[in-house]
Amino acid sequence: MSYNFLDLKAANEPYLDDMVEAAARVIRSGRYVGGRECELFEQELAAMTGAAHCVGVSNGLDALRLIFKAYIELGILKPGDEVIVPANTYIASVLAVSDAGLKPVLVEPSERTLNLDTSLVEAAVTQRTRAVMVVHLYGRVCFDRILLDVASRHNLLIIEDVAQAIGALSFTPGVNGGDRAGALGHAAAFSFYPTKNIGAAGDAGAVTTSDDRLAVAVRALANYGSDRRYHNIYQGYNCRLDPIQAAMLRVKLPHVADENADRFARALAYFRTISHPNVIKPLMSEDVVDNVWHQYVIRVTGGYRDRMKAELAARGVATDIHYAMPPHLQPCYATLFDGVRLPVSERLASEVLSLPIARGTTVKDAADISRIINSITLQS
């Protein structure tokens, strides 16, 4: 037997005919930038999240970048302002902040959730802190009363990176009372990169917000800074959502809940079956909805992660690592984060191992892979 980590063709198989039909619809329409598919997609994603507005954009990184740039154009953020960002995240979260001329201030994760430890946020707040970014890493919502409280006392914007968590619910209502990822903070960025829970057939992203002015500014910035035809109020970009991708995504959006439920079932099989002295499983209970299991990430302790990965590969189980090097240690940030030490994030990077969880992996596969893990002896 062999187990793929991720088979994108298998992931798209149930949608194939509808995706081909949707692409053909756009090609036949004669409208290749913007248009009806983009508008409908935006309405549908806004309705799904509960945010007042959605702006479709080119990808997840651009979604985050545009949010920060728009706040700067609106005079709400200024270059040099500090933004608190989780240290344990994909680098795109940090890139969006530094690219906008803002200063990313990295805060360590909780060892329980692997998400930003909200109890450490207050200590990182300075006179210049204006925003905090939460990343719902691996699909688990990062949002609680502690965060809301510190954000409201220090007047901080809350920006969500929802790239990995479409459809996830929060137990704590957001700043505007919403309860779904994308409607918890002041603005949120989605990615529809093909490997995400809902993936396009290429790059795509979206911004959601209930702030009318922010939505208008993001839309203008993504379209050369133009507020109406041949009239430019900002020095903008071309970061628009491709209508073919909008049409692809409209095929899949109605299935967010089913896709996430299937991921939950595979996660539950791992949770119930894995039992190994060197493996720490992600937190899980049988009824919790605040995690949409973008990745099922175990920690292998004792310095045995690479050995476990190799032993699994030898038994036909493909795994991946998200992420082997935290952003502050990346060469591109050698100057900005010179001397910064983040021991929890650094240790996690040496322990994490992602198991197959996407469509294409069955519940039985997850149980079989768990038994293979249990059978591996690491101590020599």
Ligand X SMILES: *Cc1c(COP(=O)(O)O)cnc(C)c1O
Residues that bind ligand X (CB under 6 A): 59-61, 89-90, 92-93, 135, 161, 163-164, 191, 193, 203, 205
- For ligand X, the closer CB: 185 or 205: 205
User: Closest distance between ligand X and the C-beta of residue 143, in Å?
Assistant: 15
- For ligand X, the closer CB: 142 or 300: 142
Residue at 260: amino acid letter = N
Sign of the alpha-carbon torsion through 331, 334, 337, 338 = positive
Q: Are strands 103-107 and 82-86 parallel, antiparallel or unpaired?
A: parallel
User: Closest distance between ligand X and the C-beta of residue 117, in Å?
Assistant: 17
Sign of the alpha-carbon torsion through 125, 126, 130, 133 = negative
Q: Give the contacts of 365 (CB within 8 A, at least 6 positions apart).
A: 3, 266, 356
As a whole number of Å, the CA-based R_g of the chain is 21
- Cα–Cα nearest to 154, from 122, 186, 118: 122
What is the CB-side half-sphere exposure of residue 299 using CA atoms within 13 A? Answer: 18
Q: Are strands 82-86 and 157-161 parallel, antiparallel or unpaired?
A: unpaired
User: Closest distance between ligand X and the C-beta of residue 364, in Å?
Assistant: 28
User: Closest distance between ligand X and the C-beta of residue 103, in Å?
Assistant: 19
Helix (H, G, I), strand (E, B) or coil at 369: helix
Helices (H), the chain: 8-12, 16-29, 36-49, 60-73, 91-99, 121-124, 145-153, 212-221, 243-252, 256-273, 305-314, 343-351, 363-375
User: Closest distance between ligand X and the C-beta of residue 203, in Å?
Assistant: 6
- For ligand X, the closer CB: 60 or 356: 60
- For ligand X, the closer CB: 222 or 279: 222
- For ligand X, the closer CB: 61 or 214: 61
Q: How far is CA 153 from CA 85, 103, 149, 174, in A?
A: 18, 21, 6, 15
- For ligand X, the closer CB: 121 or 133: 133
User: Closest distance between ligand X and the C-beta of residue 315, in Å?
Assistant: 28
- For ligand X, the closer CB: 95 or 317: 95
User: Closest distance between ligand X and the C-beta of residue 304, in Å?
Assistant: 26
